[in-house]
Amino acid sequence: MMENTKFSLEKALGGAPVRCREQHYIPTIERVAGPNSAHALVGRVSSDSGSMQIFWNVDGSAVRVASNIFSDSPDSDFDLLMVA
C-alpha cells in the first residue's frame, strides 16, 4: 500500500511522484501555470472513462476546468498528494 504525504510543490516540480486523493484518477502535471494565474500547476487527470484538464493550487488542491466529465466526483478527489 502506498503511503501518502502532504503535497509539496517544490518536490513535485523536481519530479517526485504524486497521485490524486482518489487513487483511480491518474494525474499528469503538464506545466507551471502562468505568472498571472491564480493557480500553480496545469495538468490533466485521467481514468478508464476519460481525461480532463485541471488546475492545481500551491497546496495541491484541485480546481476543475470543466464539470461535464467526472461530474460525480468532487474537486477534492483530484487533489494531489505525494507518494512516499
pTM: 0.89
Q: Is 45 exposed, middle or buried (0-12, 13-18, 19+ CB in 10 A)?
A: buried
Q: Who wins on pLDDT, 5 or 36? A: 36
**Per-residue cell: 32:** 507551471
Confidence class of residue 1 from pLDDT cuts 50, 70 and 90?
very low
Q: In the chain, which ranges are continuous DSSP H helix?
A: 9-13
The Cβ-side half-sphere exposure at 22, using a 13 Å CA radius, reads 14
Give the count of beta carbons closer than 10 Å to the beta carbon of residue 73: 19
Q: Does 41 have pLDDT greater than 80?
A: yes
Confidence class of residue 67 from pLDDT cuts 50, 70 and 90?
confident
The DSSP-derived string for 48-62 is: TTEEEEEEE-TTS-E
